[in-house]
Structures are given as structure tokens and as C-alpha cells.
Amino acid sequence: MDESKSYAASQALDEVMIGGTVGEVVASENAHFAVGDKVVGQGGWQEYAVVEASQRGVLQKVDTTHIPLSAYLGSVGMPGVTAWYGLTQIIAPKAGETLVVSAASGAVGSVFGQLAKARGCRAVGLAGGPEKCAYVVEELGFDACIDYKQHPDLKSLSRALKEACPEGIDGHFENVGGLILDAVMLRTNAFARIAVCGMIARYNGGALPMANPALILVNRMKIEGFIVSEHMGLWPEALKELGTAVASGKLKYRETVAQGLASAPEAFIGLLKGRNFGKQLVKLI
Ligand SMILES: NC(=O)c1ccc[n+]([C@@H]2O[C@H](COP(=O)([O-])OP(=O)(O)OC[C@H]3O[C@@H](n4cnc5c(N)ncnc54)[C@H](OP(=O)(O)O)[C@@H]3O)[C@@H](O)[C@H]2O)c1
């Protein structure tokens, strides 16, 4: 949102807050869209959006026969594709490898672990609190989940990772950064791959130094950041797998729904404090 260097343009003042939306067409002057069509787009934080629908990619019609509309903002939308991309294009695991993901109960992390399991990997999550960890293992089917809040220092978190990953870590999907990344790096195997998706621990500002960069060399690691919107060519393949898995009930997800536009700022701030459980949505109307 702010003016610091980023991959996204900063939020302009006095403009509608940007945000992905799903909704229903209430009026149309475009032959491709009819009143009642369910659509996904970037409508922003407002109850109605007027868009130039002939512009490619602005508005996408979606089929809600087997997939709930809201899932197109989560597992069958941008967050799902994000998990899919990091897993298949950066980590590219072999069956039997151990993969770790931070913010494991969230919109992206929950998909990552389930896709990893489906490829025969050991999936280990990190999440904040016993309730989220129980959900990650019991409902999402991860092999283990570490409550990082119980391990506030590097030594303790690294030991917990050693227990959960007895064969070491081959791939890591980073959503958080800081202490979690440092602890994971200590447990990586040679030729480990780290997909850097997010650094939520620093979204409120400040530096997030890496404790042990020499490990990149020692373990011949690949560390690659990515932005999912720069890989639109792969979205159809990802969405096919994700849509099929959600429609058949194989890919599970959870949502936290705030009611009304006025609740959006608080819901957004809640993401940075872990108050959401699964994909944070705001029901506008
Ligand atoms: N690169 C891309 O193209 C791309 C695309 C989409 C999303 N992302 C990134 O992916 C990450 C996950 O996004 P999401 O939408 O799936 O969010 P989410 O995981 O549903 O929600 C955010 C979660 O992050 C955790 N968290 C927040 N502050 C933290 C902190 N200081 N330390 C540790 N954990 C913290 C909390 O979970 P706990 O309670 O478990 O701590 C919170 O629930 C974010 O970093 C996001 O920016 C990147």
C-alpha cells in the first residue's frame, strides 16, 4: 500500500481500495455478460463496480454449479494458483521429499500442503496456535504442524523442525520470513528449494534480516521469489487442478467472513495479527 519499493503500485489516496472480488452482474451493456452472471475480478472495496468488460481479464465469468462463488477468491483463485505455482514451478518436488510451509492454515498455505500431499510428499506446516495446528493436521491432512508461538527463539523452533522433519527439509514455501525462515534454513538438505511468496512478518515496516545466508552456499540452495500475476499463462492449468479438487471435495478450505464494507479495514488489519482462520473475506452485500 505504501510508497516503498514493491512489486505492486502503491494504493492511490482518495481512490477505492484495491481488492479481488466475486459478485453478480446487475446490469450489462456487453453481449458476453448477462444479468445474474457470477463473476470474479478486481472490484475493490465497494459494493458496486463499473468495469469496461471488453478489456481482457478485467472480469471473468465463473461456474458455481460445483464450486461455491467465494472459493474463486481462495482455493480456486489467486491464492490457490499462488500455492500451485510455488510448488510446481519453483520447488518441483519428488514424491517422498519433505516440504514445509509457513502460515499453513491460511488461504495460500492450506492449498500448498494439500497439493504437496497429493504428490506424495511429507507436508509440515507452521501456524499460530493449537487450534490452527490441529486443523492443519486433522482436517487438511498435513503430516505435522508446529505452533511457532510456542517456539519464540531460533534454537527452540529449529529443534521443533528437526522433530517434525527427521529427514531434513527439501522444499519450503515462505509466507512469513524472519525467524521462521532462519529456522527452516538451518534444517534444509543439500539442493533445497525455497519459494519466497510472502514476508508478512515485515508488512508493518522494518527490516527482516536473514541470520545465516552462508547456508545458501553450504546447502547449494535455490531461493526464488515470485509474483503469481506475472505467470498468467499457467493459470488455466493450475485452476483446472484446483477446481477439480475443490469440486470433488479433495481440496479443503476454510473461510473467515467479515460482514459489511465497514468491517473491511479491521478484517485487513486482522490478517497481520493472525486473527483470520483460512481465507479472509468481506461480505459486502
Ligand atoms: N507472491 C505472490 O504472488 C502472492 C500471492 C498471494 C499471497 N501472497 C502472500 O502469501 C502470504 C499468505 O497470504 P494469504 O492470503 O494466504 O494469507 P493468510 O495466510 O490467509 O493470512 C495471513 C496469515 O499470516 C500469518 N501471520 C501474520 N502475521 C504474522 C507474523 N508477524 N508472523 C508470523 N505469521 C504471521 C497469520 O497466520 P498464523 O496465525 O498462523 O500466524 C495470518 O493468519 C502473504 O505473505 C501474502 O502476502 C503472495
Q: What is the pLDDT of residues 141-154, one digit of tens each?
A: 999 999 999 999 99
Segment 183-190 shows an average pLDDT of: 98
> Which atom, in ligand 1's list, is nearest to the CA of 228?
3
**Which of the four pLDDT bands, split at 50, 70 and 90, describes residue 251?**
very high
Burial of residue 77 (CB within 10 Å: 0-12, 13-18, 19+) is buried
Q: Is the CB of 227 under 6 A from ligand 1?
A: yes
Segment 215-222 shows an average pLDDT of: 98
Spacing, Cα 190 to ligand 1 middle (Å): 27
Q: How far from chain centre, in Å, is Cα 121?
A: 19
Determine which residue's CA is closest to atom 37 belonging to ligand 1: 274
Give the model's pLDDT for residue 3: 81
DSSP E strands, the chain: 21-24, 38-41, 59-61, 98-102, 122-127, 144-147, 169-174, 188-196, 222-225, 255-259, 279-283
**Which of the four pLDDT bands, split at 50, 70 and 90, describes residue 186?**
very high
Which of 82, 135, 200 to mutate to test ligand 1, by most ligand atoms within 8 A of the CB atom? Answer: 200
Segment 68-93 shows an average pLDDT of: 98
Distances (CA, A) of 52 to 8, 49, 103: 22, 10, 36
Give the model's pLDDT for residue 22: 98
d(CA 112, CA 127): 13
Give the model's pLDDT for residue 183: 98
- Are the CB atoms for 124 and 164 separated by under 8 Å? yes
Spacing, Cα 274 to ligand 1 middle (Å): 8
Cell, residue 230: 506475472
Determine which residue's CA is closest to atom 15 belonging to ligand 1: 107
d(CA 93, CA 87): 7
State pLDDT tens for residues 124-139.
Answer: 999 999 999 999 999 9
DSSP collapsed to 3 states, 164-210: HCCCCEEEEEECCCCHHHHHHHHCEEEEEEEEECCCHHHCCCCCCCC
d(CA 256, CA 71): 12
Burial of residue 10 (CB within 10 Å: 0-12, 13-18, 19+) is exposed
d(CA 246, CA 228): 20
Segment 53-74 shows an average pLDDT of: 94
Cell, residue 66: 460445483
- Helix (H/G/I), strand (E/B), else coil: 24: strand
d(CA 114, CA 106): 12
